[in-house]
Structure 1
C-alpha cells in the first residue's frame, strides 16, 4: 500500500491503548496427592486403580516415566497458545474501586498507582509412560489456581488483559512399601496489561492501493523465449 501525494492531515482514530504492562514469573506451591485421593486419581486399563499397586503388579515400578501436561477439565491436552481454552484469567478486585497505592519510582518521584488482583485457574493431567513412551495410565485432570496482586497504572475505565506465555509442569510419583504420593510443580509466566478503548487525534496520510505489476505476470511475453544466438558466425558467414 502506498501513500497518496496529499499532505498529511489530522485524523481521529479509535484504538486500544495500553496503560501499563508487566510480565511476572509464577511458581505455584507444590501440589501433593496421596492416600485415598491418589488411589482414585489414575485410570489404568480402563478402570480406576491404586497406581502404586498397579505398577508393582505389572512389574513396571522402575521403568516408568512420569509426564505432566496442560489440559482442559476433561484431561484433553491443549496448547498454551490458546488462552481461551487453557486458562481462566480474570480480575477479582472491584475494577471500579481499585485501591490507590503511592509508590516511589527509581528516580525518587512519587506516583499513584492502583492495586489489581488477578486470578489464574487451569488444569494439568499426569500420564505414565513405559520404556517405549506408550501411555500406561493417565490421571484425571488436576486443578490449580493462584491469585496474584499487581501494582499498575489502572485508572477507572481500564480493563485487564492477561495471557500465559510460558508454561511448565513437572510431576514425580513416589511409591514405597509404606508411602505413596504424587507431587506436581507448575511454573508459568503471567503477562498482564491494563487497556482501554480511546480516540486519538493523529497526523497521517490516507492510503490508496498501489498499481498492479502487470508485466510480472504477463505469460505471453516472448522475450528470452529462444536460446541466445551466435551473430559473429551466423548468419553473417
Structure 2
C-alpha cells in the first residue's frame, strides 16, 4: 500500500473550470450533386472513364443493386479519420461576433430569470464517397467533399471564457440515383456536437499530499519525492 499524509490542509490549485456544457444533434443540410458537379467530385484518377459516375458504372456492367456506396469522415487530403480521436482534422471553433457575445435573458423552469450569452460555433470538415463492388473492392472514390454548419447556442459564457467544442458522434449516408433522365448523388450528414465553455481558475481545496509507494521487488536507491513546505498562515488566506 502507498504511504499518505492523513492530515489535510488548504491548498490553492489552478484548474480548468467548465461554466456550461451542452450536446446537440445536428443534421447538416443535404448536399446534392448532379451534372458537372458530379463529374468534378469523382476525378478521373480515382474513377476512370468519361462522363458521369453512372456512365462509369454502366460501362462496368454494374447494376445499382450490385454495388454498395459508403461515406466516411476524412481530412482535407481524403484520409479517413476518427472524429473522436482526430479532432485536429476538423474545424470546430467559435464564430466571433462584432459586438461580442450578446446577453440573452432566459427564464428557467423554476421561474427565475437569468442572463446568459449567445455563442456561435462553426464546424467544418470533409467526407469521401466510395463505390464498392460485391467483393469489397473499391471501384470508384470521390475527392474530399467539404461540409460546414454554423450553430447558435445560449450558454453561460461570461467574458474571459473560451469555447471548447468537438464531435462525439458522426454518421454519413449517401444515395446515388441513376436513371435515363436523372443522375444525382445525395450526401446526408448527422453529427453530435459537444460544446463546453471553459476558463482557467484558481480554487482553494482541502487536500493532502501523496507519496509514491515503495517498490515490492527490491530496495531502491531513488529518494522519495518531497514537496516544499506550505505557508498556511499566509496563503491561502481566509
Shorter chain as denominator, the TM-score bin is 0.7 to 0.9
Distance 2:26 2:95 in 1: 18
Is 1:88 the counterpart of 2:60? The answer is: no
Relative distance call for 1:45 and 1:94 in structure 2 (3 A) is: closer
Q: Give how far 1:161 is off.
A: 0.5
- Aligned partner (choices 140, 145, 150) of residue 143 of structure 2: 140
CA separation of 1:38 and 1:30: change in aligned 2, threshold 3 A = same
Distance in 1, Cα, partners of 2:4 & 2:99: 43
Secondary structure at the aligned position of 1:151 is classed as strand
Aligned to 2:221: none
1:163 maps to 166
Alpha-carbon RMSD: 1.7
1:109 to partner: Cα distance: 0.7
Asked whether the equivalents of residues 18 and 198 of structure 2 are also in contact (C-alpha less than 8 Å), the reply is yes
Where in structure 1 are there 5+ consecutive unaligned residues?
216-237
CA distance in 1, matches of 2:88, 2:175: 26
- The corresponding residue for 1:19 is 19
* Distance in 1 separating the partners of 2:49 and 2:195: 39
1:58 to 57, 60, 77: 60
C-alpha separation in 2, matches of 1:92 and 1:28: 17
How far does the alpha carbon of each residue in 1:28-57 deviate from its partner, in whole angstroms, 9 at most, with x for none? 111101111102221456546421111111
Equivalent runs, 1:195-206 vs 2, <5 Å: 195-206=198-209
Question: Which region of structure 1 is more displaced relative to structure 2, 14-23 or 79-88?
Answer: 79-88
**DSSP-derived class of the 2:37 partner:** helix
* Structure 2: gaps of 5 or more residues: 219-238
- Whether the 8 Å CA contact 2:87–2:166 is kept in 1: the answer is no
Mapped partners of 1:91, 1:160: distance in 2: 6
Offset, 1:196:
0.3
CA displacement at 1:94 relative to structure 2: 3.5
Cross-structure match for 2:182 = 179
SS in 2 for 1:3: coil
Alignment of 1:22-33 (within 5 A): 22-33=22-33
TM-score, normalisation: structure 2? 0.85
Select between 93-102 and 106-115 the one with higher mean Cα deviation. Answer: 93-102
> 101, 106, 109: which one pairs with 2:109?
106
**Alignment partners' CA distance in 1, 2:132 and 2:182:** 21
Give how far 1:206 is off: 1.1
Distance 1:9 1:85 in 2: 40
Provide closer, same or farther for how the CA distance between residues 45 and 83 of structure 1 changes in structure 2, counting only shifts above 3 A: closer
